[in-house]
Structure 1
């Protein structure tokens, strides 16, 4: 096994790594030292004479040259910026995120010879760089340890305790017992049990799950199991369909689940179980992604990114969102992020008004829709869903200059999209939302970025 230490400068990776290697009888590798040796100059000189890109290239080469077993590795603070680096570092390894608060990190690195990365003061730069990289550190980590106030020996002891707990596999037995009482099919439950409680003891990179009621129809287990296999992530992704969110979160916290995909009806209620909520999720009022780091649950929202990415190349203009639920809120947030003026239309005008006032946009009933003044249409209602049928707009309501994004993805080709194609519109299927939100979810879960095309191929 290999142990990889990641985290910002000043978190204690090198000193801790040396002590941990000695305790385990492993070899110690510092990727910064490897870079300096390979380049024949120290890192400040590399930055000054060759630039940041040359340093990153040398760092990439050093990471690829690391042994895969019997080693403790301390990485540079920016190693996680490359998803490929994270993939190499996580393969067959346990990754430990060493962290401390901004003030501690600034004090520990005061007077460093490293060149600045921003034009900020030292303390401001430490805070800004750590904030930008924090989601990547969390995703890439199997364990998270705050080193502020701890001796290096204490940190080593905590890492060893984490390894022993993971190796025992005991924490997974309660999880498997809970799954047995859910609506999961017996064959799937047995397969999950064998993965978690088999002869090998443990999946290195932990448990992930989609939670909802219902969620047995979800394709997330199929998708993430395939992505994990492709990217060398030794994790188990399963599903928990159960009506009691409190019971789900209790077993999730007790058994150390690393990541959750959250679906209906829990996207708002799960926020109360999170220790931290990202700014986008707070603004939208919904969490669809939970990532565990140490004892903290961080709630985020990737749905809005699943809406933004397919629309990112569209010039600014006027967008209309049909609907007033959680999907509509994510759509408004995404559209405003790319510079669109937005109007929310809903049959119950009070619900549209609530969103309009929250986001500072126009609102009304569907009667207020004016096709000539609308460039983008987003259907965030269930109209058109398999078993319901129908369309929020007819062919006569659509114009060739419009882009129509139907967030309904079952079936992929809805009546609205058929009408839009007939009118000459650009059409975006709801499956694209799933593709791009899952791409971002994979990054938050593991620190690894995968191509959207890979997700499309897996989903067929």
Structure 2
């Protein structure tokens, strides 16, 4: 059997449901808090009070990293998911279950406990604040999300046991998804994997994922995410869904209980209306490129801006120009402003440039307004140069040494703009860097595991 890991805040019922599941499976049960107490000879409350939360988390990480091999049911502390090394270990060949409950219920269940407060807030306010801070981490790390305040422990135990036996995805809905995929241009190899898994009655305990778009068959995401799933010993699969009808795609996504989607053109704005919640960054940018489903609720977020921001974090803030006024340009403007840069957006259609300028309170104009001496950072958020097509966005005589040029186009890696910028002595960032960093952000939202950029870089 798969290892079963229960995560969630204090009061969610992990220590009640865990032993029930373990007994039904005939395997050992380990509560990491109890293991810490056994090793230190002190209660959790004493450890928190004397050593502080950080020291307790160190004890917790040590216990998690040294869990015995083989089938187990594990209950972890509420903050265990805040460290990626814990999530990496807990998710290995395991099905992770998030026991979710409202802040009011959790506060009632933990009222009067001896554990020291983590903040200066009242008990109820602290429970709500900690839950809000950690909720996205719980949902990312989980394969199954269950409402622990709406079902009895016995009912939750039955759901967990059924998912452990049959997988967390409904077989009938997967068969329907397969029929839908057969109407698309999904590559034969990817289709065969889905066919085989359904035909043999197997499922994906750690989720089914896809990139959606029209077109999207050119996406290299499957060749990145599937090796990463294998590396971290996740029973998951990532494919491509190229289809013109977003409503049809999202209907399949919901019915099949898929865990996550990477969203590309032309769906990044329209997909927002299919999300139950949207992160503040995605709402401000006006586009979603990542959708995660947990417990029947979908969260939309945006990692494109992280893919732009992180390669620029060591670049001094200055005046930046963004060419383009689409979704990628909006992500670039948001990223640059988060770094303290002044931004000007230039677009061939002046009205679209003005719209972007008004949205982000920045200067706007047309490409002819570009002046080399006015800008320290140049970002190409248009399709100019894709496939190596000439002419370049800017010529070398329009650039100068010391400028940073970031071309979001990544096919080919050395675009005409990058070649001209190198000849002019500019600092160059190829579009592959945006892909690498946004993929890191997506993988963490999908699985709870934070990656090092080189882990993606070596796969592309």
The answer to whether the Cα contact below 8 Å between 2:383 and 2:409 also exists between their aligned partners in 1 is: yes
Correspondence for 1:364:
365
The answer to whether the Cα contact below 8 Å between 1:375 and 1:401 also exists between their aligned partners in 2 is: yes
Correspondence for 2:19:
18
Aligned partners of 2:162, 2:233: CA distance in 1, in Å? Answer: 24
Correspondence for 2:153:
152
Post-superposition offset of 1:239? 0.7
The answer to whether the Cα contact below 8 Å between 2:388 and 2:411 also exists between their aligned partners in 1 is: no
Aligned partners of 1:345, 1:197: CA distance in 2, in Å? Answer: 50
Post-superposition offset of 1:170? 3.9
Post-superposition offset of 1:277? 1.1
Correspondence for 1:183:
185
Once the two structures are superposed, what CA deviation does each residue of 1:6-45 show, in whole Å capped at 9, x if it has no partner? Answer: 0112222111222332333332211011011111212232
Once the two structures are superposed, what CA deviation does each residue of 1:67-122 show, in whole Å capped at 9, x if it has no partner? Answer: 34442211001111122211211112111101112222222222222223333333
Correspondence for 2:314:
313
Aligned partners of 2:276, 2:290: CA distance in 1, in Å? Answer: 13
Aligned partners of 2:315, 2:404: CA distance in 1, in Å? Answer: 9
Runs of 4+ in 1 over 6 A off after TM superposition: none
Aligned partners of 2:370, 2:9: CA distance in 1, in Å? Answer: 50
Correspondence for 2:214:
213
Which aligned pairs between 1:32-47 and structure 2 lie closer than 5 A?
A: 32-47=33-48
Residues 387 and 426 (structure 1 numbering): CA distance in 2 closer, same or farther, change over 3 Å? Answer: closer
Once the two structures are superposed, what CA deviation does each residue of 1:294-344 show, in whole Å capped at 9, x if it has no partner? Answer: 111111111010000001122222111110000000001111111111111
Q: SS state of the match for residue 386, structure 1? A: helix
Once the two structures are superposed, what CA deviation does each residue of 1:387-411 show, in whole Å capped at 9, x if it has no partner? Answer: 6332222212212221111101011
Q: SS state of the match for residue 386, structure 2? A: coil
Correspondence for 1:327:
328
The answer to whether the Cα contact below 8 Å between 2:166 and 2:203 also exists between their aligned partners in 1 is: no
Post-superposition offset of 1:165? 5.0
Aligned partners of 1:349, 1:119: CA distance in 2, in Å? Answer: 51
Aligned partners of 2:69, 2:250: CA distance in 1, in Å? Answer: 35
The answer to whether the Cα contact below 8 Å between 1:87 and 1:232 also exists between their aligned partners in 2 is: no
Once the two structures are superposed, what CA deviation does each residue of 1:247-272 show, in whole Å capped at 9, x if it has no partner? Answer: 11111111111111111111111111
The answer to whether the Cα contact below 8 Å between 1:165 and 1:171 also exists between their aligned partners in 2 is: no
The answer to whether the Cα contact below 8 Å between 2:22 and 2:28 also exists between their aligned partners in 1 is: yes
Correspondence for 1:28:
29
The answer to whether the Cα contact below 8 Å between 1:289 and 1:300 also exists between their aligned partners in 2 is: yes
Q: SS state of the match for residue 153, structure 1? A: helix
Q: SS state of the match for residue 320, structure 1? A: strand
Aligned partners of 2:385, 2:171: CA distance in 1, in Å? Answer: 45
Once the two structures are superposed, what CA deviation does each residue of 1:122-162 show, in whole Å capped at 9, x if it has no partner? Answer: 33322222222222211111110122243323332333344
Correspondence for 1:142:
143
Aligned partners of 2:214, 2:151: CA distance in 1, in Å? Answer: 42
Aligned partners of 2:399, 2:178: CA distance in 1, in Å? Answer: 51
Q: SS state of the match for residue 458, structure 1? A: coil
The answer to whether the Cα contact below 8 Å between 2:243 and 2:249 also exists between their aligned partners in 1 is: yes
Aligned partners of 1:424, 1:265: CA distance in 2, in Å? Answer: 35
The answer to whether the Cα contact below 8 Å between 2:388 and 2:412 also exists between their aligned partners in 1 is: no
Aligned partners of 1:284, 1:214: CA distance in 2, in Å? Answer: 22
Correspondence for 2:175:
173
Residues 352 and 39 (structure 1 numbering): CA distance in 2 closer, same or farther, change over 3 Å? Answer: same
Which aligned pairs between 1:116-127 and structure 2 lie closer than 5 A?
A: 116-127=117-128
Compute the TM-score of the two structures, normalised by the length of structure 1: 0.95
Correspondence for 1:260:
261
The answer to whether the Cα contact below 8 Å between 1:307 and 1:433 also exists between their aligned partners in 2 is: yes
Post-superposition offset of 1:164? 5.0
Unaligned runs of 5+ in 2: none
CA RMSD of aligned residues (A): 1.8
Aligned partners of 2:85, 2:27: CA distance in 1, in Å? Answer: 25
**Count of equivalent residues:** 458
Correspondence for 2:244:
243
Once the two structures are superposed, what CA deviation does each residue of 1:361-397 show, in whole Å capped at 9, x if it has no partner? Answer: 1111123223223111111011111163322222122
Correspondence for 1:435:
436
Aligned partners of 2:148, 2:190: CA distance in 1, in Å? Answer: 40
Post-superposition offset of 1:200? 6.2
